[in-house]
Amino acid sequence: MLIYAHRGLSARYPENTLLAFRHALATGADGIELDVHLTADKVPVVIHDRDVKRTTNGSGVVDQVALAHLQSFDAGEGQRVPTLAAVLDLVADHVHLDVEIKGKDIAHEVLTVLDQYPSARWAISSFDWATLRQIRRLTAAAELWPLADRSDNDLFAIATELGAPAVSLFSGAYTPATAAAFSDAGLRVVAWTVNDVREAERVRGLGAYALCTDVPDRIIASGQTARRGQPPVLARE
């Protein structure tokens, strides 16, 4: 089972910042999950909420703020809201990325940035399945993971429509019955957000392909990982 650092090592460092991503790499995580919005001047940036208030000392909504103004805000411990390109510069050669699209009508801009990193390994996920359909129309090559908080016929249908190899599913909806259904459909499951070792053991026992966690260091230390070898050297910011 692969371990994805949810918004970086977000239990210890400001989420979705270069600091959190650097330390996620140092844990030996297999992947990093991050969230993308578009600024007013059409730059993909890595931040979870449309409203910046929760994670920065600023105010406003991302799509109504220009990048320069957005990056004047403190995102915690002196960090700034990074661009998607800056995050890729840091991590693209080290781990797989789960790029969750949060904003509307940003597929083209996100793909344009991703295309500038041919060695990067990534999948795009979203709760907004219309966005995933838009991406599929733009490219047949993108790996798409529909996000869902429950397992139902609609999830299986969109996965089939998109040609998705995996779904990203709330761990509480991953049960013996749903695990069997996903297996029968040939779909891998990425379970989120798993911060408890016992829950990690449970989803691994059901056959989860990966899990997403705020505490990758703790989950990896518990042995719930298929990763081999030593963690990478802490990347430079």
Q: Scan for tokens 């059409």, then name that residue.
A: 42
Active site residue 23: no
Residues in the chain: 237
Which one from 6, 23, 37, 96 is the annotated catalytic residue? 6
Q: Scan for tokens 């060695």, then name that residue.
A: 119
Cα distances from 49 to residues 7, 14, 56, 97, 114, in angstroms, run 12, 13, 10, 19, 21
Active site residue 96: no
In the structure encoding, which two tokens stand for residue 82, read together? 């990074």
Q: Scan for tokens 């069997």, then name that residue.
A: 180
Which one from 37, 48, 69, 94 is the annotated catalytic residue? 48
Report, as residue numbers or ranges, the catalytic residues.
6, 48
